[in-house]
């Protein structure tokens, strides 16, 4: 192989962003539901999303500041209320999820604009997406900000306080069968990928 080095400090911010998306790919998509302090709902997808730990269960989502350096509605709402839900995006809801990424004015409900159904929650107030087979209710632990200005990071670290699982995904032992979920993941540009069974494989962990 013949590799070329790129220094992000010398690159335009949009170019560095695009290169990062190529290197960290594919990425699962968190469909984040929040409420403003006045109770207005917001729903937005984010692919800067990962599991954080299991004791307690935690997840991290990073809504980047917009092109003007301003925080997204999701971050504003979570910092104000400390509550949110994350619904996992599958192939069946891909088109509506994509439409929900449109930058609607603050206070406009993506639920109504796109047509998702609000699912009940038990611990937090924001609804989950009923069309998603996997969802998590989350309480804010900490927000870590990294960098100033456009496209800078806001790591929202949250504790999972409830899971919601579609029973159709459960095998005879009560565990989720990953081949039934039909996950999609974000790549770079307008590219996505789909985790269908014929593209999935298992690798057993090495034993001592």
8 pLDDT above the threshold of 90: yes
pLDDT higher than 90, residue 107: no
Q: Which of 63-67, 108-112, 162-166 has the lowest mean pLDDT?
A: 108-112
- pLDDT (mean) for 127-131: 98
Given a contact cutoff of 8 angstroms between Cβ atoms, the answer to whether 62 and 50 are in contact is: no
- For residue 124, is it left (φ>0), alpha (ψ between -120 and 50) or beta? beta
Q: What percent of the chain has pLDDT over 90?
A: 96
pLDDT above 90 (res 52): yes
pTM tops 0.75, yes or no: yes
Q: In which band, very low, low, confident or very high, does the pLDDT at 176 lie, cut at 50, 70 and 90? A: very high
pLDDT of 143: 98
pLDDT for 105 equals: 83
pLDDT score at 108:
81
């Amino acid at each position: 192989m013949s590799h070329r080095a790129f220094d992000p400090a010398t690159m335009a911010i949009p170019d560095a962003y695009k290169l990062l998306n190529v290197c960290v790919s594919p990425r699962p998509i968190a469909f984040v539901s929040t409420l403003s302090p006045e109770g207005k709902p917001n729903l937005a997808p984010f692919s800067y999303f990962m599991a954080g730990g299991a004791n307690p269960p935690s997840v991290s989502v990073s809504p980047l500041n917009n092109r003007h350096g301003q925080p997204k509605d999701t971050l504003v709402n979570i910092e104000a209320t400390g509550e949110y839900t994350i619904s996992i995006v599958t192939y069946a809801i891909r088109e509506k999820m994509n439409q929900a990424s449109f930058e609607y004015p603050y206070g406009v409900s993506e639920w109504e604009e796109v047509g998702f159904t609000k699912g009940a929650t038990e611990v937090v107030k924001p609804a989950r997406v009923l069309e998603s087979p996997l969802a998590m209710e989350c309480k804010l632990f900490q927000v870590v900000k990294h960098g100033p200005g456009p496209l800078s990071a806001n790591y929202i670290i949250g504790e999972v306080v409830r899971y919601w699982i579609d029973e159709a995904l459960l095998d005879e032992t009560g565990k989720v069968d990953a081949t039934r979920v039909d996950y999609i993941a974000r790549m770079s540009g307008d590219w996505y990928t789909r985790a269908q069974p014929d593209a999935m494989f298992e690798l057993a962990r090495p034993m001592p």
